[in-house]
Amino acid sequence: MNTNTFTYEPRGQMLVIHLPKELDHHNCRNLRYETDLLLSENYITRIIFDFSQTEFMDSSGIGVLLNRYKQMAGSGGSVVLYGAGAQVRRILHVGGLARLVPCFETKEAALTCS
Amino acid sequence: MEQERKCAMEGEGMEQERRRDGKNGEMLGTDGFQMEMEGFSRNEEFARVVVAVFMSRMNPTLEELDDVKTAVSEAVTNAVIHGYQNQGGKVGIACSIAGNELTVTVWDQGRGIADLKKAMEPMYTTDRSGERSGMGFSFMEAFMDHLEVESCPGKGTTVRMKKRIGG
């Protein structure tokens, strides 16, 4: 799996987005366009971010998550994430995202939560 | 006059440092490096890795290393996006170690910031796409012990950050 770009895995009405190793401004550039396209062509009620390969994230990642959260909240959907390591958890906490986006340990938990 | 005295004091400190170094033959005085790179987004990772490798001689904890990497990433991203409007330009990075304190300076010669106070407000962003969080300066403040920003419209911006490593 390429760890420098996003990969998308549709799971029914859920969309799993596998995030790159380094989630910074450089690697975030294409995400908006790609997810907007996927959201317009599919009926998606939950976006699941996979942080299991991500070793570094800065405020660019917060921007991306926050925007997806607003998008999904606007249509009654939800955003969750799983697999966040220590650095990512710290950034989510300082960025205030930990309160908005539920964090799970595993993909299964993120897929089956209600 | 004030400045002269300050220089003399710094000079004395250096002398003492060198004498102490002479005993074990190892250089332990103020240590540092300075570099310039092109302000392209793909260089953001390079910048934070260079600073991380440099500061590894201070035996930082993983958390301290991540904090500095995050702050550097924010400062360089600001230079790339805001200073140079994604058009590229020279971004400078300097690091120095004095005792257990790391100083990182990031500068650009881009458009500068007209209203610094506003730019440093949490969540403030000029971005209209909604993709930018506006948390860059807040993160630098949160992850470092000290943050100083100088900016001159049309001439550029300099960000100076300090962090104590190991205590």
In tens, the pLDDT along B82-140 reads 999 999 999 999 999 999 999 999 999 999 999 999 999 998 998 888 889 999 999 99
Identify the CATH number of the domain in which residue B63 sits: 3.30.565.10
Nearest C-alpha of chain A: how many angstroms from B45?
8
Burial A38-49 (b: 16+ CB within 10 A, else e): ebeeeebebbbb
Query: Which of B164, B148, B158, B143 is CA-nearest to residue B97?
Result: B164
At B56-71, the pLDDT tens digits run 999 999 999 999 999 9
Please report the pLDDT score of residue B167 as a whole number.
66
Q: Is residue B11 part of a domain?
A: no
Q: Is residue B96 part of a domain?
A: yes
Nearest CA in chain A to B143: A94
Please report the pLDDT score of residue B1 as a whole number.
37
Residue A1 banded pLDDT, cuts 50, 70, 90: low
Strand order in the sheet with B90-98: B31-38, B90-98, B101-108, B156-164, B146-152
Please report the pLDDT score of residue A113 as a whole number.
86
Q: Please count the residue pairs, one from chain A and one from chain B, whose beta carbons lie less than 8 angstroms apart.
A: 69
Tell whether the model's pLDDT for residue B6 goes beyond 50: no
The C-alpha atoms of residue B154 and residue B134 are separated, in whole angstroms, by 22
At B134-165, the pLDDT tens digits run 999 999 999 999 999 999 999 999 999 999 99
Give the CA angle between residues A6, B40, A50 to the nearest 5°.
20
Q: Is residue B8 part of a domain?
A: no
Residue B29 banded pLDDT, cuts 50, 70, 90: low
Structure tokens at B127: 């971005």
Please report the pLDDT score of residue B9 as a whole number.
35
B78 is catalytic: yes
Pairing state between β A56-57 and A103-104: unpaired
Q: Is residue B70 part of a domain?
A: yes
Ranking B9-13, B22-26, B44-48, B105-109 by mean pLDDT, the lowest is B9-13
Residue of B48, B64, B78, B111 marked active site: B78
Give how far Cα A16 sits from Cα of A12, A66, A97, A111, Å.
10, 16, 18, 9
Length of chain A as a residue count: 114
B74 is catalytic: yes
Chain A residues with a Cβ under 8 Å from any Cβ in chain B: 22, 24-26, 28-29, 31-32, 56, 58-60, 62-64, 66-67, 70, 86-87, 90-91, 94-95
Give the CA angle between residues B43, A22, B47 to the nearest 5°.
30
Q: Under an 8 A CB cutoff, do A59 and B131 touch?
A: no
Q: Into how many domains does chain B fold?
A: 1
Q: Is residue B32 part of a domain?
A: no
CA dihedral A70, A72, A76, A78 (to 10 degrees): -110
At A17-45, the pLDDT tens digits run 999 999 999 999 888 888 889 989 999 99
Q: Is residue B16 part of a domain?
A: no
Pairing state between β B101-108 and B156-164: antiparallel
- The CATH class given to the A7-112 domain equals alpha beta
Q: Is residue B5 part of a domain?
A: no
Q: Under an 8 A CB cutoff, do B135 and A67 touch?
A: no
At A49-100, the pLDDT tens digits run 999 999 999 999 999 999 999 999 999 999 999 999 999 999 999 999 999 9
Q: Under an 8 A CB cutoff, do A25 and B133 touch?
A: no
Cβ(B103)–Cβ(B96) under 8 Å?
A: yes
Q: Is residue B9 part of a domain?
A: no
CA dihedral B53, B55, B57, B60 (to 10 degrees): -110
Residue of B43, B132, B141, B164 marked active site: B132
Instruction: Write down the domain spans for chain A.
Output: 7-112
Please report the pLDDT score of residue B90 as a whole number.
98
Q: Domain range holding B83? A: 39-164
